[in-house]
Amino acid sequence: MRSIYLLSTIMSKRRSESDDNIPNKKTREICSFKEKCFRRNPHHFMQYDHPHLDVLLGQNDINIPSGYLDKSIVLEQIKILKDVRKPSKELWKDFKQGPSNVTNISTPAKNFAAKLKCNAPYNLFFTVVPDSPQTKNQNNSIQITDLLCPSLGDLKCSLQINFMIDIMWLMEQYAYTKNEKKPLTMLYGEDFPNMKEYMAKCLPNVTPHFIKMQDPFGTHHSKMGIYAYTDGAIRVVISTANLYYEDWNLYCQGVWVSPKCPPLPTDKSDSDGSGPTDFKGSLQSYLKSYNLPCLTEWIERVKRADFSDVKVFFVASMPGKHLPRSSGCHLQRVGDLLSRHCSLPDNNAPSGDGALSWSIIAQSSSLGNFGQTPAAWLRSALLRTLASHKKQPLPGSSNAKLSIIFPTVENVLDSYKGPDGGGCLPYGKKTHEKQRWLESYLHEWKADRSRRTRAMPHMKSYCRVSPCHTRLAYFLLTSANISKAAWGSLNKSDSCSYVRSYEVGVLFLPSFFDEPYFSIDDKQITKGNLFPFMYDLPLSPYKTSDTPWCQ
């Protein structure tokens, strides 16, 4: 259901679109799926024409020909098509009367605070996939409305920082939890059709700010929310999902939800309550980097909050040039943290469980242009960072095994949505043709353990796993795909790095949870907590007949 429009905005800059909604004016290209299109996102119908629906739209007694999709789907599409062609005034009127489509709203948990407590100390969740009913009842499953559950606190206002935001859908989620009139500040990287006009006329409580990138190859790709409550506390949420229906219902996403961070006592200084990882200071630095007046009150809220219970590290990328050990670049930040805090067995360990036997897994929904050989960036920059540990910080050349998870063509075709399931995987065919060597690193998507094999992953995660596949040395959840734009590219002459995009994530390190390693196998765990893990181990390498899904 994710529209081709959404995919195109990830792969290239969206072309200008006329606000004119005259049906017969051919300013839009025809949807490539034609009669097989099953999308029900209004923005898709604003971007693409559907001649087969235009024919039906003119019929008083609609007769759906054979070969079309299920009648209920076609009728819903026709209703949406009528709505998007209404004059703007009628559109605002319709929305003010209430949510337009209750099927777009996920019923929240009755007591998500209790569920959050049960998932302590990691607070790591995976989104519910409606096509896989088993995921609904999993202990660490989450829906967008859970983040607005009253059990978490009486919401006063919120901040959403994201790439793509479907404002009408988002406000339906807020409305369902009776929070639609509360102040909302939004930073976003891509416009939807009529988005600014809609917010100006219909949402006086929303303060939006479009982040215009200076670098044409960069994106405002961060995905984070901050929720402020009437008792003065705040909560931070880091996820991999954009804020629209498809991302929260069709694809596999990861979501970290912070503990509630109470306000500092008045006699405490701003530097108090930074927490064991200085999450507070890192978050403040990230927010300040925008240099936006609309974030001033949020920076102040973070400054006066107590983050003592937050045990993960805040990881960010911000556009520009960064010095070594900078907190504004994934390559520098993650490499520095692993070099100081990641523990691995000695290479001469009697069990053979040495550092090099712990493999590195990188899993993302898009792959960048890495160059003609693995040494150009993948191993010299990314692996150098991910292979770092206390006894070998930022190795110049690592022999650690690097595996990349990216869905095959077969994975996508066998997904719940068939070819449309690949809508969240914008890897270019031309790019892959230039780096066919990458296939020796690739592994298929398989998540039977979490009942998510047939839902394509939009999540991005990086970890180091033991040879027995039962323990992790670290785990990174982030918005950053495997690309130079997200992680940064190293300049060997001065050891600085250059970043094109905004990204945020959280890094889990066992020592900050008083554990030697994270246990991911419930059959092997003897003490401590089970760390949530989505995909299956051991990994399944590409067969000779496999190819990655490319656009």
pLDDT score of 77: 85
Give the span between the Cα atoms of 338 and 476, in whole angstroms: 11
The answer, yes or no, to whether residue 441 has pLDDT greater than 60, is yes
Active site residue 458: yes
Looking up tokens 């930022």 gives 394
Give the span between the Cα atoms of 465 and 462, in whole angstroms: 10
Neighbours of 62 (CB within 10 A): 13
For 313, the token pair is 């590290």
Q: What is the mean pLDDT of residues 485-497?
A: 89
Asked if residue 442 lies in contact with residue 541, where contact means CB atoms within 8 angstroms, the answer is yes
Could you tell me which of 221, 143, 208 has the C-alpha nearest to residue 177? 143
Give the span between the Cα atoms of 521 and 123, in whole angstroms: 18
Q: What is the mean pLDDT of residues 44-73?
A: 80
Could you tell me which residues come within 8 angstroms of residue 352 by beta carbon, excluding any fewer than 6 positions away? 467
CB burial of residue 26 (10 Å; 0-12, 13-18, 19+): exposed
For 215, the token pair is 């670098």
Q: Of 40-54, 147-161, 361-375, 483-497, where does mean pLDDT reach its minimum?
A: 40-54
Structure pTM? 0.85
Asked if residue 505 lies in contact with residue 287, where contact means CB atoms within 8 angstroms, the answer is no
pLDDT score of 282: 98
For 261, the token pair is 């961070």
The answer, yes or no, to whether residue 16 has pLDDT greater than 60, is no
Give the span between the Cα atoms of 21 and 392, in whole angstroms: 60
pLDDT score of 551: 85
Active-site annotation holder among 44, 221, 330, 432: 221
pLDDT score of 45: 76
Give the span between the Cα atoms of 428 and 422, in whole angstroms: 12
pLDDT in tens, 114-150: 999 999 999 999 999 999 999 999 999 999 999 999 9
Give the span between the Cα atoms of 379 and 245, in whole angstroms: 36
pLDDT score of 82: 78
Give the span between the Cα atoms of 408 and 453, in whole angstroms: 12
pLDDT score of 102: 43
Give the span between the Cα atoms of 249 and 251, in whole angstroms: 6
Indicate the angle between helix axes 167-176 and 195-202, nearest 10 degrees: 40
Could you tell me which residues come within 8 angstroms of residue 515 by beta carbon, excluding any fewer than 6 positions away? 528, 529
Active site residue 443: no
**Torsion of the alpha carbons at 162, 165, 171 and 173, rounded to the nearest 10:** -70
Looking up tokens 């299109």 gives 37
502: amino acid identity, one letter: Y
pLDDT in tens, 399-440: 999 999 999 999 999 999 999 899 999 999 999 999 999 999
pLDDT in tens, 186-244: 999 987 767 888 888 889 999 999 999 999 899 999 999 999 999 999 999 999 999 99
Q: Of 48-57, 227-236, 276-285, 386-395, where does mean pLDDT reach its minimum?
A: 48-57
The answer, yes or no, to whether residue 493 has pLDDT greater than 80, is no
pLDDT score of 349: 54
First to last CA, the chain: 16
State the chain's mean pLDDT as an integer.
88
Q: Of 121-130, 332-341, 390-399, where does mean pLDDT reach its minimum?
A: 390-399
The answer, yes or no, to whether residue 99 has pLDDT greater than 80, is no
Q: Are strands 234-239 and 224-229 parallel, antiparallel or unpaired?
A: antiparallel
Give the span between the Cα atoms of 334 and 430, in whole angstroms: 30
Looking up tokens 């009776």 gives 178
The phi and psi torsions of 548 (rounded to 5 degrees) equal -70, 150
Q: What is the mean pLDDT of residues 61-77?
A: 81
For 122, 155, 265, 329, the CA distances from 151, given in Å and listed in that order, are 19, 10, 24, 36
pLDDT band for position 381 (cuts 50, 70, 90): very high
For 190, 344, 463, the CA distances from 383, given in Å and listed in that order, are 31, 16, 11
Asked if residue 81 lies in contact with residue 74, where contact means CB atoms within 8 angstroms, the answer is no
For 208, the token pair is 């939006």
Q: Give me the half-sphere count of Cα atoms (radius 13 Å) on the Cβ side of residue 548.
A: 28
The answer, yes or no, to whether residue 108 has pLDDT greater than 90, is no
Asked if residue 386 lies in contact with residue 402, where contact means CB atoms within 8 angstroms, the answer is yes
Give the span between the Cα atoms of 536 and 519, in whole angstroms: 14
Q: What is the mean pLDDT of residues 13-28?
A: 35
Active-site annotation holder among 43, 44, 341, 458: 458
Indicate the angle between helix axes 88-96 and 195-202, nearest 10 degrees: 50
Could you tell me which of 275, 217, 106, 231 has the C-alpha nearest to residue 488? 217
Q: What is the mean pLDDT of residues 439-451?
A: 97
